[in-house]
Structure 1
Amino acid sequence: MRFTRLRFLILASGLLAGGGCTPQGAPSFPVVGAYFPDWMVCGLIGVAVAVGLRVIFLLTGLDAILSFRLFTYVAMGVIAALTVWTLVFGP
């Protein structure tokens, strides 16, 4: 009895979730003939921003007062990547 109920719930959830998948294609754009996904570009921008901010913080002396350097730079890179994703590729 339990197994039948579980199968029904799995089937029902699959049918209800089926409307979210649309055949629009992957969010990508051509660069020199190859298609690159948008998230990869946003990730590279996030890494570049984190490295750039590290250089700026080292030059200004702010790096010395940071307690969690790795987490700070990762968070700044993620924030930059998500901002680019929202502004450029968002709805």
Structure 2
Amino acid sequence: MKQRTWPRTATACSLLASAPLAGCAARGAPSFALFGAYFPFWLTSGVAGVVGAVVAHRVFVKTGWAREVPYQLSVCTAIGVVVGVLVWLLGTGAL
């Protein structure tokens, strides 16, 4: 059976398409040392956002606002996103 090979244009297109995956900065993604290992800062921001959403939900339940706030899942998710973005901006020095 004849083995199929890729044409040169397909190989060139594959290499060109994967070039942006290297990232925008030559120094790598923002990270910090945690327990002796480098930890990506985007993951820290995401965890902070989830914690912010859970805290917002608990505040809504504790104060009784949970009965009055419509679309509570969307509101708590938005609060979590804001907390995550603020942590990202403060941590990377962009704010």
Counterpart Cα distance in 1 of 2:43 and 2:25: 22
CA deviations 1:37-81 (Å, max 9, x no partner) are: 111101111111111111111010001112111111110000011
Counterpart Cα distance in 1 of 2:68 and 2:93: 35
Instruction: Say yes or no: does 1:34 pair with 2:7.
Output: no
CA RMSD of aligned residues (A): 2.1
- Residue identity (%): 39
TM-score, reference length from structure 2:
0.69
Structure 1: runs of 5 or more not aligned: 1-9
Counterpart Cα distance in 1 of 2:47 and 2:38: 15
Among 52, 56, 62, the residue aligned to 1:53: 56
1:56 counterpart letter in structure 2 = V
Pairwise mapping of residues 1-91 of structure 1 onto structure 2 (< 5 A)?
Answer: 21-91=24-94
Q: Hey, which bits of structure 1, 4+ residues long, moved more than 2 A?
A: none
Structure 2: runs of 5 or more not aligned: 1-12
1:72 counterpart letter in structure 2 = V
TM-score, reference length from structure 1:
0.72
3-state SS of paired residue (2:81) = helix
Count, aligned residues: 77
